[in-house]
Amino acid sequence: MELEEVFGVLISAFAGSLAAVLVSFWIEANRQRGRAKADLIYAISRHCERLGQYSSEFWAAEAFARTKFQGSVIPGAPEKPSIRILEAALLSAGSSMVGDAKMALAQIVKLAKEAESQSPENREVIAEWEAEASRLNDLAILIGQWDGRKAALPTPADLGHAAVMS
């Protein structure tokens, strides 16, 4: 073998190894993005489940209060799940995000806070809790359509859904 052939083989081996490392890195980065997106969506779904459970417990407490106490005060009424719990879960789920995705995470947390019902102390307005869950479900749709790399979530117009995040 001549010297040129030896260098050619070495360069080819190096290029092949480098390509394998880059492909492996790319696959792992995609896996981490997918896992982070799934964790974000899971955090939202758990909060929506807690809102549903809260609604059931609230109506059960109200029915009990009406039959037992014949009053509008509901002793032992459950506490509405705080959006702060969801915020912490979102930040934890997105902790592995890097680069521009961190900016999108900030947008996700902001949209989650905005989804909270406007008068959480008003226990009579169950529709507000349902609206909060609906807005959070819309946010989960946007996260699902996001590529995990860009600095911003897709807009509802990008998805062709006028009702999303309304």
On whether the CB atoms of residues 100 and 149 are closer than 8 A, the answer is: yes
pLDDT tens, residue by residue, 26-76 = 888 888 888 999 999 999 999 999 988 888 887 787 777 777 766 556 666
Instruction: Write the DSSP string, 107-145.
Output: HHHHHHHHHS-S-TT-TT-HHHHHHHHHHHHHHHHHHHH
pLDDT tens, residue by residue, 90-104 = 999 888 888 888 899
pLDDT of residue 106: 92
pLDDT classification of 25: cutoffs 50, 70, 90: confident
**Residue 6 clears pLDDT 60, i.e. is over it:** yes
Tokens of 110: 């902001």
* Least confident among 95-104, 117-126, 143-152: 117-126
Of 130, 141, 161, give the one whose Cα is nearest residue 37.
141
pLDDT of residue 73: 60
This prediction has a pTM of: 0.76
